[in-house]
Amino acid sequence: MNGYVVTGASRGLGAALTAQLLRDGGRVVAVARDCSPLPAHPQLITLDADLADSSLLPLLLERALAALGDCDSLTLINNAGTVQPIAQVGAYPPGAAEQAIALNLTAPLLLCDAFVAHSAGHGGVRRVLNISSGAATNPYPGWSVYCASKAGVDHFTRTLAAEQQGTARPLLAVSLYPGVIDTGMQGEIRAADPAQFPHKPRFDALKADGQLTSPAAAAAAIVAYLHSAAFGSVPVLDIRQL
């Protein structure tokens, strides 16, 4: 049986990934601030946690791996994230940038660090999948914190992959752009102040024109890639390029 830790698992893409992995016969530890929306499943373990509280993360990952037990492979999927604050530089709400950096960047780094350390003796395949965004390479006015944090995740993943190349049993690491998905985050974007986010009309049009991918379809494509022989060959990838 394959084992997975999925963050941001209670809604949107995270919930869809969790459902897909369970359908495929995996054992999943779902991590979110509130996992109660997830339906019960015999192979699902839930851990409620605030991933922006960095002090909790090493112990959280250790607990997650212990809950998975003996699995043929281990995979960490860092999916949790926020697009807030949607505000241009000079107009950040107090504390919003710090919260976003803690969730979008610090949490994936520290969870990866703990995953590499605590899974070192595992004899099977180990994978890290960091859900990133095209915003890592494209500057969007109003998304400076989101763009910067995703760019940081991408370069961290490149570095992790480079470090692993020199090990006896390399861990596979990928930072993936999943496309534009019809989640609550898209709703937040469409509700943004156009004065702070001038690209808002583009995202309004994507919804109106039916161009958003469903979470279930996105999750199916991501999981198929996760289990493919190509996973890990490129450390940063847009799934629409496959």
Q: Which residues are catalytically annotated?
A: 146
List all residues 6 or more positions away from 15 whose beta carbon is below 8 Å from its beta carbon. Answer: 9, 37, 38, 215
Distance CA 143, CA 124 (A): 39
Half-sphere exposure of 223 (CA within 13 A, CB side): 24
Here the contacts of 207-210 (C-beta below 8 Å, separation 24 or greater) are 207/182
Six token digits for residue 166: 């020199």
Q: Which residues, other chains included, contact 69 with Cβ-Cβ below 8 Å and sequence gap of 6+?
A: 3, 27
